[in-house]
Chain A
């Protein structure tokens, strides 16, 4: 772990470096999607990859999401490991059929004879002032489907390593990239893997309330913990990193310590991943809990126009309010 191998880079750059690393390491790895080649992707996440690896490895595709995922399945059947980009969260639905009925199930249908190591990259979430279908958080729709794995990094180091691990996985992985954090910089040690792909991590220790988040909400929760500290409250912040499988053991361990849990995500609260966490943690920690598990997230409404998204998205005060309610029991 020499210091020379530690670099400061933005999340978008970390994913770019990770893809570059994967393309170099394995000739079967392909990058596919609309605009991923010459343009380098609309967020420049794939910038320069086609120039260095050629059009046969970094493939500009027709504008057809089902086609992108469906042909990636065929390429995986032929022994390739495609990493496909869906340009924005709300555009994944034309491909949802291929992802759910084909990508997720072929391993089981073939009784393990056919593996589909496909990574579907989806920039997701709000907070960038975009037009409709560009700010959604559909992770629960994918996590609900057996056969898929669903992850979301919150920082540059995880973005770098989790992408490598997702590509190496023999299972299809839906890789949700927090687009509002693409330009956040962090330290990346490119020599040392921080941990397994599906392990949650305590990113701030605390004793009074546990905050659980993933992707774009981890940064917010750390800010909440700072603000709460000023009021004399010690919050523990857990970054789930993986939504399916979900590391309930780590959540349980934290809740057994703090006895209070608030789950924070951008997606609508109703039937969201927070609901699953609340139910399981209630089962596992019933006698430890001092308060019901609370959730902070989006409303059961279409994602609003950009001028209203600050009201829709969880913010500092909404999370602090939930912390207050938890502590009031």
Chain B
């Protein structure tokens, strides 16, 4: 080991220490586990072999089900509805884990996978005022959100982002529910609600800061009533409940919506948020995007009953909605939010959907799920479904789609440029905002850090 002078050592470290600190490693380092690889390239998964395309059942039966297709497991007023679905109850009692295959009688659906409009007396009023322009708007939201998401995935592959959690496949659940909110409502997302953020007016480039590693948040939650992404699973459902309790105390008529996934439904915090919101009759909508997989674990590993039925035990309604149907998601969420605003308490909405991609870019779904499943869900794509409807109903023309494509590309460019231009934070940001009222230890350590930093400049001859 050679001995070098303090000045020489500091000068060397000063020069070398900066590289690689920004997450701009070349492509392939984080993604080499095949996160982005097409699962088809990985051969057939063995573990997933048992999971056949049972989830691929289409839900045309919703057409005949009409209002009976709506199931609300309510502890109070919904008794008549609960009685109308002995099948689901029998299944839950007789067989474990009946929740992943969406029983057509459980599912609220307004648009079939082929884009046909299904009548539903209960929820149609919540979308009755939609104009063709509104429908095009929903389509545009989904397309741009998907484009943004794809760009972010690419940026991760190129080493510009450390990680990305894709929403591919969940556009309808997010745009439908997001467009159901009012500006004075408050949204508590997980870390995948890029489409909801879009609906709330959060600039999508702001979502990328934490994934690039330049901050741990990226936007002012109160500017758009859209809380910061929450990484710890399910924590935000309690924040949402507390916020909703505050709304009730204030006598305001706004509502709160809390997003979480099927995996989060196993968390104690989610159970506690159900308890608190029911006990205090808090105006909160729990919006569970059941995308079938919590990283590698299927919904069967989280629950033995359909998730929406959990609400019954807490004394509030639960509804399962086709999460790939933007109209149904919009209608059911509007209904639930209005219910909350009227002081009728919480609702659980289970949006039955599918995570088409990996959990995050570090994940490799080919290790745990069979490709048939994905193929079956592709047939229910939320964007293709609305496009078919718009076209069949003559609500649009090719010009609209062409313009939207241009807009998508422009958004992709803007996102790409914004990420690359994102400056690294100042070194001293480490110490900023640790405490609102200050803290002696932080002050002391900031001063030590400053002296340490300054010593590098000294070592380099005062540069």
Question: Across the interface, do A113 and B220 meet the contact criterion of CB distance under 8 Å?
Answer: yes
Also in contact, A73 and B436, with CB within 8 A (given A66-B269, A110-B228) = no
State the CA gap A80–B242 with chains docked (Å): 10
- A187 interface residue (CB < 8 Å to B): no
Q: How far is the CA of A64 from the CA of B249 in the complex (A)?
A: 21
Binds B, one of A97-105, A133-141, A228-236, A318-326: A97-105
A260 to chain B, nearest CB (A): 24
Determine if B241 is an interface residue (Cβ-Cβ < 8 Å): yes
Among B247, B275, B276, find the residue whose CB has the most chain A CB atoms closer than 10 A: B276
Complex interface: chain A residues within 8 A of B453 (CB) = none
Which residues 389-440 in B have Cβ within 8 Å of A in the complex?
A: 432-437, 439-440
Interface: A206 (CB within 8 A): no
How far does the alpha carbon of A97 sit from the alpha carbon of B215 in the complex, in Å?
21
Any A CB within 8 A of the CB of B221: yes
Instruction: Assess A67 versus B273: contact at CB under 8 Å? Given A74-B244, A247-B440.
Output: yes
Tell me which residues from 53 to 107 in chain A have a Cβ below 8 Å from any Cβ of chain B: 56, 61-62, 64, 66-67, 69-80, 94, 97-98, 101-102, 105-107
Task: Say yes or no for A109: interface residue by CB 8 A criterion.
Answer: yes
Residues of B close to A244: CB separation below 8 A = 439, 441
Query: Quick one: closest A residue to B268, CB to CB?
Result: A66
A98 and B243 contact, CB distance less than 8 A: no
B451 close to chain A: CB less than 8 A = no
7 contacts between A and B (CB under 8 A): A61-B276, A64-B275, A67-B273, A70-B235, A75-B245, A115-B436, A146-B442
With a cutoff of 8 Å between Cβ atoms, the chain A residues found around residue B230 in the complex are 102
Please give, as numbers and ranges, the residues of chain A lying within 8 Å of B220 by CB-CB distance: 110, 113
- Which residue of chain B lies nearest to A173 when distances are taken between CB atoms in the complex? B437
Provide the residues of chain B in CB contact with A66, threshold 8 Å: 238, 268-269, 272
Query: B249 touching A110 by the CB < 8 A rule?
Result: no
B239 (CB) vs chain A CBs: closest residue: A74
Give chain A residues whose Cβ lies under 8 Å from the Cβ of B249. 56, 80
A97 touches B433 (CB 8 A): no
Q: Which 6 A-B pairs have the closest CB atoms?
A: A74-B242, A70-B238, A78-B246, A71-B242, A67-B272, A170-B436
CB within 8 Å: A-B pair count:
139
> What does the 1/0 interface line of B228-256 toward A look like (CB < 8 Å)?
10101001011111111111011000000
Kindly state whether residue A121 has any CB partner on chain B within 8 Å.
no
Known interface pairs A66-B238, A73-B239, A74-B241; A112-B433 also in contact (CB < 8 Å): yes
A71–B275 Cα distance when bound, in Å, is 11
Chain A contacts for B279, CB-based, 8 A: 62
Q: What is the bound-complex CA distance between A89 and B239, given in angstroms? A: 23
Residue numbers in A under 8 Å from B222 (CB-CB): 113-114
Name A74's contact: one of B215, B240, B435, B440 (CB within 8 Å). B240
- Is B217 part of the contact surface with A, judged by Cβ < 8 Å? yes
Q: How far is the CB of B267 from chain A (nearest CB, A)?
A: 9
Given A66-B269, A107-B434, A115-B436, 6 more A-B residue pairs with CB atoms under 8 Å apart are A56-B249, A70-B241, A77-B246, A102-B232, A171-B437, A246-B440
User: Known: A62-B276, A74-B245. Is A107-B436 also a contact (CB below 8 A)?
Assistant: yes
User: A149 on the interface (CB 8 Å rule)?
Assistant: yes
The yes or no answer to A245 lying at the interface (CB within 8 A) is: yes
**Most chain B C-beta atoms within 10 Å of own C-beta, residue among A72, A109, A113:** A109
Partner of B235, one of A97, A109, A114, A245: A97
Check: B227 CB closer than 8 A to any chain A CB.
Answer: yes
- A308 in the interface (beta carbon within 8 A): no
In chain A between 170 and 187, which residues have their CB closer than 8 angstroms to a CB of chain B? 170-171
Complex alpha-carbon distance, A114 and B245, angstroms: 18
The answer to the question of A198 belonging to the interface, with a C-beta cut-off of 8 Å to chain B, is yes
B residues near A246, Cβ cutoff 8 Å: 440-441
Mark interface residues in A233-269 (1 if CB within 8 Å of B CB, else 0). 0000000000011111000000000000000000000
Q: State A71–B277 Cα separation when bound (angstroms).
A: 9
Complex: chain B residue closest to A276, CB-CB:
B441
Is A126 positioned at the interface, with any CB of B under 8 Å from its CB?
A: no
Interface centre among A77, A80, A248 (most CB of B within 10 A): A77
B373 to chain A, nearest CB (A): 33
A147 at the binding interface (Cβ < 8 Å): yes
In contact, A75 and B242 (Cβ under 8 angstroms) = yes
Q: Within the complex, which residue of B276, B434, B437 is in contact with A71, where a contact is CB–CB below 8 Å?
A: B276
Please tell me if the beta carbons of B232 and A101 are within 8 angstroms of each other in the complex: yes
**Quick one: closest A residue to B425, CB to CB?**
A111
Tell me whether chain B's interface is mostly helix, strand or loop, or mixed: helix
Q: Which residues of A contact B217 (CB under 8 A)?
A: 109-111
> Which of A74, A112, A171, A198 sits near B246, CB closer than 8 Å?
A74
B6 in the interface, Cβ–Cβ < 8 Å? no
A169 at the interface (CB under 8 A from B): yes
The reply on A108 being an interface residue by CB < 8 A is yes
- Hey, which chain A residues are within 8 Å of B52, CB to CB? none
**Closest beta carbon of chain A to B439's beta carbon, Å:** 5
Query: Whole-angstrom distance between the alpha carbons of A14 and B10 in the complex?
Result: 55
Please measure, in the bound complex, the distance between the C-alpha atom of A7 and the C-alpha atom of B281, giving whole angstroms.
42
If A74-B244, A108-B433 touch, whether A64 touches B235 (CB-CB below 8 Å) is no
Bitwise, B209-232 to A at CB < 8 A (1) or not (0) is: 000000111001110000110101
A53 to chain B, nearest CB (A): 13
Roughly how many angstroms separate A248 CA and B442 CA in the complex, as a whole number? 13
Contact among A62, A94, A171, A245 with B436 in the assembled complex (CB-CB below 8 Å):
A171
Contact pick for B245, options A71, A110, A198, CB 8 Å: A71
Are A98 and B439 in touch, CB under 8 angstroms? Answer: no
Q: Are B242 and A70 in contact (CB under 8 A)?
A: yes
Q: With A71-B276, A111-B215, A112-B432 as known contacts, state yes or no: A102 contacts B235, CB within 8 Å.
A: yes
Task: Please pick, from A61, A77, A146, the residue contacting B434 in the complex, using a CB distance under 8 A.
Answer: A146
B241 closest partner in A (C-beta):
A71
- Residue contact A64 to B276, C-beta cutoff 8 Å: yes
Contacts of B442 in A (CB 8 A): 146
Q: Is the CB of A98 within 8 A of B235?
A: yes
Cα separation A111 to B222 with both chains bound (whole Å): 12
In this complex, what residue of A is CB-closest to B274?
A: A67
Task: State the Cβ distance, B254 to closest chain A Cβ, in Å.
Answer: 10
> Contact: B276 with A67, CB < 8 Å?
yes
> How far does the Cβ of A151 sit from chain B's closest Cβ, in whole Å?
12
Q: Which residue of B lies closest to A65 (CB)?
A: B272
Q: Known: A108-B434, A112-B432, A112-B433. Contact between A71 and B238, CB under 8 A?
A: yes
